[in-house]
């Protein structure tokens, strides 16, 4: 059979989704459609035409249909494709311009096997699209209702033991409860990561006038958000010298030149840049070298047990040497014990954050008051 295709039923039409018709592309191609009343499909579904027609001239209904002469159709086999719930998706069809009396039930069963395989794949695609649509609706609802809040974790000057800034961390109240990284991954999967990241940044920087003039707010953004058209306008009328932008080590930057070009005017205006999660993966050194950041945030995987691990101390020492040579600074993340804190201070780390120094709080005034009392 020289022509084979899979069609989908859409609003009373048969739409040809997949077509194999070498040399006969003028007769049928993907995207073409015909009214269901003009083709065999509906008649086969409703039992007026058989699934196997070796010679259409021998079937009165097929012979009477204009499409039989138009294509022309001399022989035809067609199997309905049904989804798991029994809903007809469309048809798997093979046809020939000439009659073929050698066609038999065995040929039809072979087609049925392939139709069932196609149905399984189509069902899988449908389910994936349904899940994506659910995710998209969930993210849009979260954006429309601002169903998230910002928690601020102090970034502490380890010499004075007082906050030099606060990292803004997004916390979601929408159901179902999932960690922030799951929400942002979901937003990325449905093409809404830029919108969600910028919404969280806008909310985060609202508190900038509640903190001391010499303190800053640190916000997170992915490379795709940074190079978006909306990014720069998010910072209009804000004191850029009091904002630190963190780029995660895990994020892929395809074009460092374009990325740095977008950031250049903002950095000239005072915005500072940090490479986050340094040491957590393979991209950190390249990010650090290519982006020339103002801060390098050492991942907690290096900070953890640094007091008892020579290798971790050596790696942090190497990063400290780099930052001294480039006039950058290190922030050690994930400090949880006094031993870790004391070791980092001895190494020369001057800034840090972690549960030992202060937990994230949505009420930034609470954190400010805690440090005021401590001092």
pLDDT given at position 173: 87
Q: Mean pLDDT in the chain? A: 93
Q: What is the dotted CATH code of the domain comprising 3-130?
A: 3.30.450.40
* Pick among 3.30.465.10, 3.10.20.600, 1.10.10.60, 3.20.20.450: CATH of 146-374: 3.20.20.450
Residue 296 and residue 312 in contact, taking contact as beta carbons nearer than 8 Å:
no
pLDDT tens column, 167-207 = 999 999 877 788 999 999 999 999 999 999 999 999 999 99
Domain ranges of the chain: 3-130, 146-374
> If 0-12 CB within 10 Å is exposed, 13-18 middle and 19+ buried, where does residue 207 land?
middle
216-220 vs 243-248, strand pairing mode: parallel
351-352 vs 148-157, strand pairing mode: antiparallel
Q: What mean pLDDT is predicted for residues 335-360?
A: 97
Q: What is the DSSP letter of 265?
A: H
- pLDDT at residue 283 above 80? no
pLDDT given at position 281: 65
């Amino acid at each position: 059979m020289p022509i084979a295709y899979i069609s989908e039923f859409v609003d009373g039409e048969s739409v040809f989704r997949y077509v194999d018709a070498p040399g006969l592309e003028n007769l049928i191609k993907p995207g073409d459609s015909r009214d269901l009343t003009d083709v065999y499909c509906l008649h086969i579904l409703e039992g007026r035409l058989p699934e196997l027609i070796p010679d259409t001239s021998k079937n009165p209904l097929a012979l009477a249909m204009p499409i039989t002469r138009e294509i022309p159709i001399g022989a035809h086999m067609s199997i309905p494709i049904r989804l798991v719930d029994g809903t007809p998706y469309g048809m798997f069809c093979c046809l020939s311009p000439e009659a073929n009396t050698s066609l038999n039930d065995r040929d039809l069963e072979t087609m049925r096997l392939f139709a069932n395989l196609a149905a399984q794949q189509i069902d899988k695609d449908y389910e994936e699209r349904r899940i994506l649509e659910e995710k998209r609706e969930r993210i849009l609802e979260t954006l429309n209702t601002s169903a998230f809040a910002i928690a601020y974790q102090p970034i502490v000057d380890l010499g004075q033991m007082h906050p030099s800034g606060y990292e803004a961390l997004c916390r979601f109240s929408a159901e179902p409860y999932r960690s922030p990284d799951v929400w942002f991954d979901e937003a990325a999967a449905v093409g809404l990561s830029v919108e969600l990241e910028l919404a969280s940044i806008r909310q985060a920087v609202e508190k900038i006038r509640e903190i001391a003039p010499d303190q800053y707010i640190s916000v997170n953004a992915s490379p795709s958000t940074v190079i978006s058209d909306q990014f720069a306008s998010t910072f209009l009328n804000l004191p850029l010298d009091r904002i630190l932008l963190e780029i995660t080590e895990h994020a892929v930057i395809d074009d460092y030149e374009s990325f740095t070009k977008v950031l250049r005017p903002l950095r000239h205006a005072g915005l500072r840049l940090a490479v986050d999660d340094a040491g957590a993966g393979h991209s950190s050194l390249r990010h650090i070298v290519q982006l020339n950041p103002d801060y390098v945030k050492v991942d907690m995987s290096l900070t953890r047990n640094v007091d008892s691990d020579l290798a971790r101390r050596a790696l942090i020492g190497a990063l400290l040497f780099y930052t001294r040579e480039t006039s950058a600074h290190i922030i050690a993340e994930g400090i949880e014990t006094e031993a870790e804190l004391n070791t980092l201070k001895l190494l020369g780390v001057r800034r840090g954050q972690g549960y030992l120094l202060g937990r994230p709080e949505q009420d930034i005034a609470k954190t400010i008051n805690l440090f005021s009392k401590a001092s």
